[in-house]
Amino acid sequence: MSGTKNKVLILFAHPSINRSEINWPLFRSSQGIGGVTAVDLYQEYPTFHINIDREQQRLREHDIVVFMFPMYWYSTPAILKEWQDLVLEYGFAYGEDGTALQGKKFLCALTAGGPANAYCEDGFNHYTLRELLHPLEQTAVLTGMHYIAPYALFGARTAAEEKRVGKHIEGWQRLLLALRDDRIDFEQAGAVTKLNDHLDVLIREG
């Protein structure tokens, strides 16, 4: 087993914390873990005036970047898009001399309102979750990052009443520690559709 430790940066975006039954608890469960930096973007930048230099330095200092968010209209909440537009600039993240992110890992931890069977060619949303995330996957490719399949919860609207939140958080904490401790098969993690279904295979127990 590799002794390498990874520093993990979690960029959390939820515009309605008081209505968050899954993402906020998931984010809170990520705080206070050694080697993990958890940033609430809406709290840090309530006026959307993002400190580009600070965010770019955070990226330089971490090995794994996580976008944590509820899927809104098949995309990220607005502040995450603003963050991408401003922080991932030419000459830093891509283009000539834009090599700051090369070799880093990237993944999304997200919730989706619809059930799993809605995310397929014959389902209500016509596309798989991974297909809907193609813009983020291509962003990782363009910037030289290794894209990892999402850690996702479907049917988010009913997850609390169906008592599925606790298991989801437990799985995330297990994955987060494996990411930090370099106990995951990153190649295989990039090939699957959704990480949740493959944790026993992807993670090497330490």
Q: Which domain holds residue 181?
A: 8-202
pLDDT at 122: 86
Is 135 part of a structural domain of the chain?
yes
**Cα first-last separation, the chain:** 8
Per the structure, the count of domains in the chain is 1
Under-50 pLDDT residues of the chain:
1-2
The CA distance from 6 to 109, in Å, is 17
153-182 pLDDT, tens per residue? 987 787 778 888 899 999 999 999 999 999
Residue 2 covered by a domain = no
Amino acid at residue number 60? R
Please report whether residue 3 resides in a domain.
Answer: no
Please indicate, yes or no, if residue 185 is contained in any of the structural domains: yes
Q: Is residue 121 part of a domain?
A: yes
* Structural domain includes residue 197: yes
pLDDT of residue 3: 52
* Tokens coding 203: 């993670």
Of residues 76, 82, 75, 73, the one with CA closest to residue 44: 82
Give the list of residues 6+ apart from residue 159 with CB closer than 8 angstroms, or none: 21, 22, 111, 153, 165, 168
Residue 126: alpha-carbon gap to chain centroid: 22
pLDDT of residue 12: 97
Residues 137, 141, 142, 143, CA torsion sign: positive
| Residue at 155 is within a domain | yes
Report phi then psi at 103, rounded to 5: 90, -10
Looking at residue 165, what is its pLDDT?
84
Backbone angles phi, psi at 131, to 5 degrees: -65, -40
Q: Mapping DSSP to helix (H, G, I), strand (E, B) and coil, where does residue 124 land?
A: coil
CATH number at 165 reads: 3.40.50.360
| Helices 165-180 and 23-30, packing angle to 10 deg | 40
The residue among 3, 41, 20, 37 whose CA lies nearest residue 159 is 20
Instruction: Give me the pLDDT at residue 83, please.
Output: 98
